Homo-oligomer: A and B are copies of this chain.
Amino acid sequence: MSRRSLAFNFGGFPQDIRIRGPVPPLALILEEFEALSGDRPPTFLLICDEHTLPLARTLSPLGPCCVLASGEANKNWAAVERIIAAAAEAGLGRDSLFIACGGGVVSDLAGFAASVYMRGVRLCNVSTSLLGMVDAALGGKTGFDLLGLKNLAGTFYPARLVYLPVESLRTLPPAEWKSGFAELIKTAVLDGEDFFRLLETIPGGPEALQDPEALEGPEGPALEEAVYRAAAYKGRIVEEDPRETGGRRALLNLGHSFAHALESSAGLGRISHGEAVAWGLARSCELGLALGITGAERAGRITALLKARGYETAAPHPLMGPSFMEALKKDKKNRGGRGVFIVPAAGGAEILREAPAEELLRQIVKVKS
């Protein structure tokens, strides 16, 4: 497989991204760090979870390794403390390197721990889930859940080096494929026709990796191309506004107002983030249609792709709880009352300056008042 690179600067924090086939060996990571920053980290700590331990051990069979419990339910302070304790135990100093090997939960936790251990050590993300590759591992958001609130505590701390080893997706469970692929579709809607057409040709699961020849894309295997395009899009948007102060960065939340309300009203953990995003994306199409912003053909193609990849696109959603409308309004309030509804538009998407009327939203989600 080909290897491709991206380089960004997030408000003074440079981030280099390598899209490649297999999980990189430790020697390569250290060599690239030395090339990028001028000095080789003298010590490191590998951080993974129960599921990604085998992948982490292909990265480095020996060496200190902190194995976290898997899943969003374990994205808490106890996990951060466990990482810090492992680092202290291994005698890591301020010039050391944390290497996160896993999905979004691992990179969020390891990134937070890296940002506070001795007031900040170096960080490398090796993202092994599709959701991680197209979203969580990129940019600089770290964090964990606290008091029942998602990412209530966090930092902005971009990893210096990020690897997106698409071969590691071969062993990704189907549910995680589904969760990640929805964010991939969302990004393609934002990025434009070429990316969207590419996704229409890729299966939404591990079979996307199984027949490289049939799936050959413009510059390499199609899935690798998709991951590359998603990373490039997110990097460009984050570079414009690293600390999310407003503006175009909100585009990344396409479909997310509906998705958050669905997730929280269903009860956290009852539906995957990606499935909620896919459903939210379908709602955004309907909202855009109703407002005359999204064209009928575009809305139709997006919804058709979501359906073809097995997502629920109809309203009301079977898992929608009675608090849905309240959560939809609260999500808006939490963002300071700024417009957070985004709808597909020609060649990308548009941020609505004003929240749509409640009656219209009720029609879109099929909830009676």
Contacts and interface: CB of A to CB of B under 8 A. Distances in A.
Contacts of A143: 119
A153 B116 contact: yes
A292 interface: no
A166 B334 CA distance: 39
Interface in A78-124: 81, 84-85, 88, 93-95, 112, 115-120
A77 B78 CA distance: 10
Interface in A298-354: 334, 336
A155 to B, nearest CB: 6
Interface stretch (A127-135, A144-152, A218-226): A144-152
**Interface size of A as a range:** 20 to 34
Contacts of A117: 152-153
A81 B144 CA distance: 12
A156 interface: yes
A154 interface: yes
A12 interface: yes
A105 B203 CA distance: 55
Nearest to A77: B77
A119 B334 contact: no
A141 interface: yes
B336 A94 contact: yes
A120 B242 CA distance: 13
Contacts of A85: 147
Given A120-B156, A154-B119, A155-B116, A147 B88 contact: yes
B118 A154 contact: yes
B155 A119 contact: yes
A44 to B, nearest CB: 16
| Closest 9 A/B residue pairs (Cβ) | A119-B154, A116-B153, A119-B156, A88-B147, A85-B147, A116-B155, A119-B155, A93-B336, A116-B154
11 contacts: A12-B12, A77-B77, A84-B152, A93-B336, A112-B116, A116-B154, A117-B153, A118-B154, A119-B156, A119-B243, A120-B155
Interface of A: 12, 77, 81, 84-85, 88, 93-95, 112, 115-120, 141, 143, 146-147, 149, 151-156, 243, 334, 336
